Amino acid sequence: AQSVTQLDSHVSVSEGTPVLLRCNYSSSYSPSLFWYVQHPNKGLQLLLKYTSAATLVKGINGFEAEFKKSETSFHLTKPSAHMSDAAEYFCVVSSYGGSQGNLIFGKGTKLSVKP
Amino acid sequence: NAGVTQTPKFQVLKTGQSMTLQCAQDMNHNSMYWYRQDPGMGLRLIYYSASEGTTDKGEVPNGYNVSRLNKREFSLRLESAAPSQTSVYFCASSEEAWSGQPQHFGDGTRLSIL
């Protein structure tokens, strides 16, 4: 069975410092993995996705994530935080064992950015 | 350049009432989805439509029905609302048929059931 664990429910950084949001996954299949961002009172926006090509995936707004099979991790990073990055971030694994392409969402990590 | 549009944005219902949440996308996408979001639980798939003319149950379909009216529109109906259905509902779409990977989300419908 597939599952995803976001290791921090809340991360706080200062503007201009690096961002690290941690995600571990469990999957019986070769997984597809995603990061989505949700700004307050908005829907989710796809940041990036991994689908078994390059292990380092670049996304929008300067974010990237590295797929590490040996560590079953897919951590999201950004070299320098901006105030506009303050939002909630969801790590997601795609399950092909049940409903076609059903996504399993982590519980979210709320990122705060201090000036 | 609207993307995915959901109506209404807010709604309060009494237990037992029915209502339909509307969703439309203008990107000519094949797949459409309905999710619910509850505090601390991420999103859970209610129903999805992998292509025009098809619908399938997701993780939490009980108490809901859907209609893929045409390629643009995908509605979600609560026949007899219950307090457990108080949630934020998101409609989403993706270009690929059968992908299961939503690309664009609406801004949500906040539904309270008393």
In this predicted structure, the answer to whether residue B98 has a pLDDT above a threshold of 50 is yes
Q: At B97, phi and psi to the nearest 5?
A: -75, 145
In this predicted structure, the answer to whether residue B88 has a pLDDT above a threshold of 60 is yes
Q: What is the pLDDT of residues B59-84, one digit of tens each?
A: 899 999 999 989 999 999 999 999 99
From the list A42, A43, A101, which residue is nearest B100 (CB)?
A101
The bridge status of strand A10-14 relative to strand A109-114 is: parallel
A67 vs A27: CA distance, rounded Å:
13
Q: How does residue A98 score in pLDDT terms, banded at 50, 70 and 90? A: very low
Q: Does B9 touch chain A (CB under 8 A)?
A: no
Sign of the CA dihedral with A80 first, then A93, B96, and A89 last: negative
Q: What is the pLDDT of residues A9-50, one digit of tens each?
A: 999 999 999 999 999 999 877 788 999 999 988 888 889 988
Q: Does B103 touch chain A (CB under 8 A)?
A: yes
Task: Compare A100 and B88 and report the one with higher pLDDT.
Answer: B88
What is the rounded average pLDDT for all residues in chain A?
89
CB contact under 8 A, B58 and A99: yes
Task: Tell me which long-range contacts B52-55 makes (C-beta under 8 A, separation of at least 24).
Answer: none
